[in-house]
Amino acid sequence: MTTNHPRADAAGTWQLGDLTVNRLGLGAMRLTGSAPFHAGVPRDRSQAIAVLRRAVELGVDHIDTAAFYFSRLRSANELINSALAPYPDGLVIATKVGPSRDSSGGWAEPARPDELRGHVEENLRQLGRDHLDLVNLRLMRRSSANLAEYFGALAELRDAGLVRHLGLSAARPEHLTEARRIAPVVCVQNRWGVDAAADDGMVRACAADGTAFVPFYSVAGEGGEAGHGAAQDARLREVVRAHGASVAQIRLAWTLHQGDHVLAIPGTGDPAHVTENVAAGAIRLTREELRSLDAIRRPAS
């Protein structure tokens, strides 16, 4: 199918290990409902599937998901499997392990190192794959304090062929240094955005050796799981008006301007928003606009 809409390669590509992806991808968390996890109304199944197919149609080849992305009636992994399998060549599916939820949706105790294989196998089963392209270890209190044990367990699964590449999530620069001693780290996923808590040290640490930095909530900002609110900084609104764009598009454009190694994985449950988000990769901000948007940011707490 032909389309006149900008495609996901408009912002260029980056390497996740030996895998080339377009810098504009898709986050799967919001596929499951109008609010994340068990909150809100379950997403219409056909609409969620349409989001995934529209994303791939527009050239998105990097989808971020997790087995714990599920609501009362929907599982992100199952939706991805139903919508896209057999998977197109070049599609990279990244997932996360560490956190765990019970069948009622409540958060359970985070995994122990010896339980990470079960998390990986759960993702494999739900996605219908024999290996995972990329697994991010989501760091929490226990795994942060015992990183070598946790990341070492994933490195063993990589050696066994169940996982192709490894990354970190919610990490600090010292975590990245420690993990690299165990196995290659192809990406770091941290919360970051134009008006979210700055994490510039990690962005620089990733840039130093070509590790991808993949921020989450780059559109939602301080709204986090709830999404960005109606109130926006005047400087942001000015740039929005100058480009005839949406707030989400300018947030994404700013993100993609922060370095070739910075990727974006905006999440949505609306096919029209997929088209809008992908189009953000073609927006070119001026130096003056970037300086104005940079002034919105606040230091990390």
The catalytic residues are: 69
Closest CA to 261 of 225, 224, 213, 193: 213
SS3 readout for 234-256 = HHHHHHHHHHCCCHHHHHHHHHH
3-state secondary structure of 271: helix
- Strands across the sheet containing 187-189: 26-27, 62-64, 92-97, 132-138, 163-169, 187-189, 212-213
* Backbone angles phi and psi of 201, in degrees to 5: -60, -40
Report d(CA 31, CA 266) in Å as an integer.
11
Length of the chain: 301
Report d(CA 115, CA 112) in Å as an integer.
5
Tokens of 233: 């900084």
Report d(CA 237, CA 234) in Å as an integer.
5
